Amino acid sequence: MYKRVLIDHIPLNSFFLFGPRQSGKSTLLSQLDPIWGLDLLDPEKQLEYTKDPKVLYRILTQEQFVNRSGWIVLDEIQRAPSLLDVVQILMRERPSLRFALSGSSARKLKRDSANLLGGRAVVRTLHPLTYLELGNDFALDRILGFGSLPKIYSLISSGETSTAQDLLKSYVITYLNEEIKAEALVRNLQGFQNFLDLAAFQFTEQVNFSRMEKDCRVSYSAIRDYYSILEDTLIGFFLQPYLRSRRKRMSHAPKFYFFDNGVTRAILGLHRSAISPLERGRLWEQWFIQEVMRMNAYYQKEWVLSFWRTSHGAEVDLLIERGREILCAIEMKSGRIISDSELTGIKSFQMDHPKVPCFVAGSFEQPQKFSVCEVYPALFLLDKLKKEF
């Protein structure tokens, strides 16, 4: 059991909690000590409450609940979106009841024009484990190779590697069958699976939509929609390019990152293989950006994240902005030795932005100082971002 950062940031009133499968939503909500709960993953419950959503109203207006206050937990709410109409009525009639509504995707709710409670419930997202949540149990090589979904990470920590590898592969199959096929999010499941393989192959790289369209043999609009599905089901996210440089022509294509390294490797069929040097650099970049994204969400930093790349190929992996101010620029280097020749992207960036602090997130133990930037161990830099920005 790891203490989740989000448990200290639970809203005082009703809220939606979204998160990828197996990220720990049910475990976290159980810590609210709910007075009543409903798990819609149970097919019988899903059928019962879909056919007659007013069952929820009849239960929660019984005499035993009349004078009670506390949390009502509805797990996997996207499986019975009509319940949200009843929830809204209960929120108005029974203000002492607070609703925690969890799900692995908001896409079905949006697609079915479900009642999202008109702003009466805020939205929070639960991600895989962060370095802060793992504490002394943090091990970077485990994160890079197997990700940080709680169940997977616990198995790896206890030496049950083979079981963890089986579960990672099962995760991908379950995602395709239950999240995509069962919810009818796409008509062409094989086309989507082909797309998923190619999207994983391109992780951390700028997306080449034309190539994806050709290789998947589906339309450009379908590729866009498939990426939207990955975002809405919280399997990944785009990092957009920074486009406000005054003196340089900038690259316009976004990058795509997956939510978890272990799942990325399972999609690619690499979850039983050792990490190659080339793969390590990309996994390192994805992990660090995952951590920054999660920190931004949990602590409500209101950062805007992007990357900087000119049409000539000069690049900085991550810019962090707030408002229209660039707070800092960050490069990720997985090697244990950093040379001045590896900092050409930062040097090019500084020609336009000489006052912006520039950092490198490295895999060594001690900070270093270069003329153009400060080089820090990755965890040290993450702590610095949390405290100072």
At residue 107, the pLDDT reads 72
- Number of residues that make up the chain: 389
**216: CB partners within 8 A, 6+ apart:** 191, 194, 195, 198, 222, 223
Residues 87 and 159 in one domain: no
| Boundary-marking domain end, from 88, 110, 125 | 125
pLDDT score of 113 more than 60: no
Q: How many domains does the chain have?
A: 2
168-172, 249-253, 324-328: the lowest-pLDDT one? 249-253
Do residues 147 and 18 both lie within one domain?
A: no
Judge if 246 and 337 occupy the same domain: yes
Looking at the structure, do residues 296 and 368 belong to the same domain, yes or no? yes
Q: Are residues 102 and 197 in the same domain?
A: no
178 and 106 within one domain = no
Same domain, 20 and 66: yes
What six digits make up the tokens of 145? 């190779």
Whether residues 189 and 336 share a domain: the answer is yes
Based on DSSP, count helices (H) and strands (E) in the chain, helices before strands: 17, 13
Cα 247 to the center of its chain, rounded Å: 34
User: pLDDT by residue (tens digit) across 206-230?
Assistant: 999 988 988 888 889 989 989 998 9
Does 359 lie in the same domain as 246? yes
Q: What is the pTM of this model?
A: 0.92
Q: Are residues 375 and 318 in the same domain?
A: yes
Q: In this structure, are 306 and 239 located in the same domain?
A: yes
CATH number at residue 34: 3.40.50.300
> Which of these three, 76, 95, 125, is where a domain ends?
125
CA dist., res. 28 & res. 34, Å (int): 11
Same domain, 116 and 138: no
Given its phi and psi angles, is residue 250 left (phi above 0), alpha (psi -120 to 50 degrees) or beta? beta
Distances in Å between the Cα of 165 and the Cα atoms of 21, 244, 269, 273 are 16, 43, 10, 10
Q: How many C-beta atoms lie closer than 10 Å to residue 215's C-beta?
A: 15
What band does 111 get if pLDDT is binned at 50, 70 and 90?
low
Residue 332 CB burial class (10 angstroms; 0-12, 13-18, ≥19): buried
Please say if the pLDDT value at position 303 is more than 60: yes
Please identify, among 125, 150, 166, the residue that sits at the C-terminal boundary of a domain.
Answer: 125
Greatest distance between any 2 Cα atoms in the chain: 73
Q: Rounded to whole angstroms, how far apart are CA atoms 150 and 297?
A: 19
pLDDT of residue 319: 98
Range of the domain at 381: 131-388
